[in-house]
Structure 1
Amino acid sequence: MDQLFEDFDDIADLAEGLDDPSPGARIMAVIELADTADPAAIPFIARAITDDDAGVRKQAAQALTDFDGVETAAALVSALDDDDPAVIDAAARSLTELKDPKSGGAILPHLSAANDVKLRACLAGIKELRRVEAMGPAIAALQHVSAEVREQAVGVIGWLQDESALPALRDAAKDADVKVRRTALSALGFSKSDHAEATLVNALADPEWMVREAAAETLAKTGGASCIAALRGVLGDEYWQVRLKAVRSLGKLRATEAAMEIGPMMDVPVPNLRKECAAALGELAVPETAQFLEKYADDRDPDVRKNVRWALEKLAA
C-alpha cells in the first residue's frame, strides 16, 4: 500500500510540470507522465488535452495511445474537436489503439457526429472493440456522402461478424468507391452463405484490380465449388496481384484440378508470384507438377527456392 501512495506522489510531482509557463516544459511533463505507464497518470494527461498550446495537446493525444479505458477514450474523443489538424490526427490514431471494449462507451454517443473527420475517427476507434451497439450507426453511415466514412463503417460491420448485416455488406460491395468495395469484400470472409460467395464471385469481374484482388483472397474462406471455378477463371488476369491471390486461394482450398494450370505460371518474371505458385503446388501435391517446380530449384530468389524445396518434399512424401 505504501508503494501505491509513493507512486501517486511521484505522478503528482511530475504533473506539476503541466503548470509550467513554458510549452516545452509542459510537453516534457506529458512525456514523463506517459513514461510511468501508470493509469493514475491518465487524468493529468487528459487535462493536457485542453492546454493552450497545440504542441502540448498533440503530445497528450499521442501519449494516451499507451493507455486504455473510458477516461482515455473520452479525452481522445474530445480532442477530435480541436482546431489543430495535427492534434486531431494524433487523437484519431490513439483511438485505434484502444483494446478494452468498455472504452467504447465513450465513443458510442459520437457515432452520429456531424463532423466527417470526427465520425470517421470514432468508427475507426470502435471497430476492434466489437461493440454490438455500433452496428446500427455503422449501417446508417454506409449512406454517408464521405467515402472515407463509409469505408470505416464497413470495417465496423465486418469486425462484428453478424450474418444479419450481410445485406448491408453486399450493398457496400457495389459502392462507387474502390476502397469501400474492397473493404466490404474482405469483410465478407466470415460468412459461409451462398449469398456472400456469389457477391465475391461477381466481384472477380470488377473493373478495378484491387477489388478483384480482395475478392480472390477472400474466396479462400468460403470454399464452395463455384468459387473454385471462378478463381481458375482469373488465373489469366492482367494484374499479377490478382493472379497471386487466386493461386493462394486455390492452394488453400486444395483445388487439385487447378494444379496443371498453376504449374506453367511458375514461368513469370515476378518472384512473389513464383513463390506463391510453388507454395500452392506444394499444398495441392499433384505429382505431375514436379516438372514445373524442378525448373526453379535454383531460382535466384531465396523465398522461391525455399518454397520450391518444400513443395518438392510434399510431392515426394
Structure 2
Amino acid sequence: MSAFDPFEDFGDTEEIAARLGDADAAVRRLAVIDLAETASPDVLSHLLAAVADGDASVRLQVAIVLADFDTAEAAAGLCTLVADADATVAQAAADSLAELKDAAAADAILPLVAHDSAFVRAAGFRGLRALRAPAALGAALAAMRDESAEVRAEALGVVAYLKLEETLPSLIAATRDAEAVVRAVAVNALSFTSQLAAASAVVAALQDASWQVRAAAAESLGRIGHVSAIDGLVAGLSDDFWQVRQKCLNALGKLKAQPAARQIAALLASDMPSLRKEAAAALGEIADPATRDALMGHISDADPDVRKTVRWALTRLG
C-alpha cells in the first residue's frame, strides 16, 4: 500500500487552475475550493487572478479562502474584493481581512481607510486592528470624527490595540460619542490603563443611557482595577438590566471590594442562578468572614453551579 498523499484527490495544481477558465461558474467555484484545499502557497497567484471573475459566487469563494493565506499578497486581493459591487462578496472579504495576522498586510490595507464607502473604511480599520500597525494610528485618530459610527468604532479598535498612553484624551472623548456602539468600544479601550482620568471616564459610563455601554463599563472597570470605581459599581448592582448587575458583581470581586460585601451578598437572593453564582464568586474573592452566614444560606442552593461556587467561596473564608 502506498503512503497517503494529501494532494492525491486534487490532481495537478495547474490542471485545477485551468478549470478557472471554464465557461461554467460552478466549475470555476469548485476549482477555487480545490486550489485552496491543496494548502500550497503556489496556488495563491491563481486565486488572486480569480478575484476578477465575472461571477459573484466565484468571487465569494475567493474571498472566503484567501483568509487561509496570511500574506500581504492575499491582503491585496481581499482589499479589491471588499469594495465588490456584490454585498455578500464584500462582507466575506471584510471578514477574511480581519483574520489576517501578518503585519506586512498593513501596507495593503491602509489605503482602504480613505475610501469613499463607509463600509470599506470600516473594513479597513477592522483589518488593521490586530496588526497593531503604528502607521495606522494617525488615520485611526482622524477617523474618530468620521460621519459613520461604524467607522468611528472600528477606528477606535485600532487605537485600543496599540495601547498608547498618548491616545487617552481621544479615547476619553469617545466615551461621550453620540452613538452607543462607539461609546462601548471606547470604555473597553480604556481598560489598558489605570490612570485616574481613564477610570473616572469609565465610571461615568456606568450612568450611560445604553445598558450595553453600562455593561461594557463595568467589565472594563474590573480590568482597570481602580478603587475609585467601587461606589459606581455598587450602584450598578441595582441596574434594571441583569447583564449590568452581573458585570458589576464580577468587577467588584476582581477589586476585592470589601466595603461592598453586604450589597453583593444581597444578590445571593436573586431569582437568577447566574447572578447568585456571580455574587458567590465575588464574595469568595473578597473573602470577608462577615459574609459566611449569607453564603451558608445557599450551600444547598437549587442550582448546582451556585452550590459549587458557594462551597468554593466558603473555602476562601477559611
Q: TM-score range by the shorter chain?
A: over 0.9
1:5-20 mapped onto 2 (5 Å cutoff): 10-20=12-22
Letter in structure 2 aligned against 1:216: A
Mark the runs of 5 or more structure 1 residues left unpaired by the alignment.
none
Match of 1:48 in 2: 50
Contact 1:111 1:134 in 2 (8 A): no
C-alpha separation between the residues in 2 aligned to 1:210 and 1:196? Answer: 19
* 1:49 alignment partner, SS class: helix
Letter in structure 2 aligned against 1:65: A
Q: TM-score, structure 1 length as denominator?
A: 0.94
Letter in structure 1 aligned against 2:289: P
* 2:114 alignment partner, SS class: coil
Please say if 1:287 is aligned against 2:279: no
C-alpha separation between the residues in 2 aligned to 1:86 and 1:309? Answer: 50
C-alpha separation between the residues in 2 aligned to 1:81 and 1:197? Answer: 39
Letter in structure 1 aligned against 2:204: N
Deviation of 1:303 (Å): 2.1
Match of 1:245 in 2: 247
Letter in structure 2 aligned against 1:91: A
1:135-146 mapped onto 2 (5 Å cutoff): 135-146=137-148
Q: Deviations over 1:239-263 (max 9, x none)?
A: 2211111111111111112112211
Deviation of 1:312 (Å): 1.6
Match of 1:158 in 2: 160
C-alpha separation between the residues in 2 aligned to 1:288 and 1:116? Answer: 55
C-alpha separation between the residues in 1 aligned to 2:12 and 2:305? Answer: 52
1:33 to 21, 32, 35: 35
The alignment of Structure 1 onto Structure 2 pairs a total of residues equal to 312
C-alpha separation between the residues in 1 aligned to 2:89 and 2:169? Answer: 37
Letter in structure 1 aligned against 2:221: L
1:315 to 302, 314, 317: 317
Please say if 1:169 is aligned against 2:176: no
Deviation of 1:58 (Å): 0.4
Deviation of 1:298 (Å): 2.8
Deviation of 1:227 (Å): 1.2
Deviation of 1:270 (Å): 1.4
More moved, 195-204 vs 36-45: 36-45
* 1:107 alignment partner, SS class: helix
Letter in structure 1 aligned against 2:234: R
Could you say if the C-alpha distance between residues 223 and 81 of structure 1 is closer, same or farther in structure 2, counting changes exceeding 3 Å? closer
Please say if 1:210 is aligned against 2:232: no
Match of 1:80 in 2: 82
* 2:52 alignment partner, SS class: coil
Deviation of 1:143 (Å): 0.9
C-alpha separation between the residues in 2 aligned to 1:36 and 1:299? Answer: 54
Q: TM-score, structure 2 length as denominator?
A: 0.94
Deviation of 1:187 (Å): 0.4
Match of 1:124 in 2: 126
1:58-137 mapped onto 2 (5 Å cutoff): 58-137=60-139
Indicate the percent of aligned positions where both proteins have the same amino acid.
44
Contact 1:11 1:33 in 2 (8 A): yes
Match of 1:235 in 2: 237
Deviation of 1:274 (Å): 1.1
Deviation of 1:63 (Å): 0.9
Mark the runs of 5 or more structure 2 residues left unpaired by the alignment.
none
Letter in structure 2 aligned against 1:180: V
Match of 2:299 in 1: 297
1:188-199 mapped onto 2 (5 Å cutoff): 188-199=190-201
Runs of 4+ in structure 1 over 3 Å off: none
Deviation of 1:206 (Å): 1.3
Contact 2:214 2:244 in 1 (8 A): yes
Contact 2:225 2:254 in 1 (8 A): no
Deviation of 1:301 (Å): 2.6
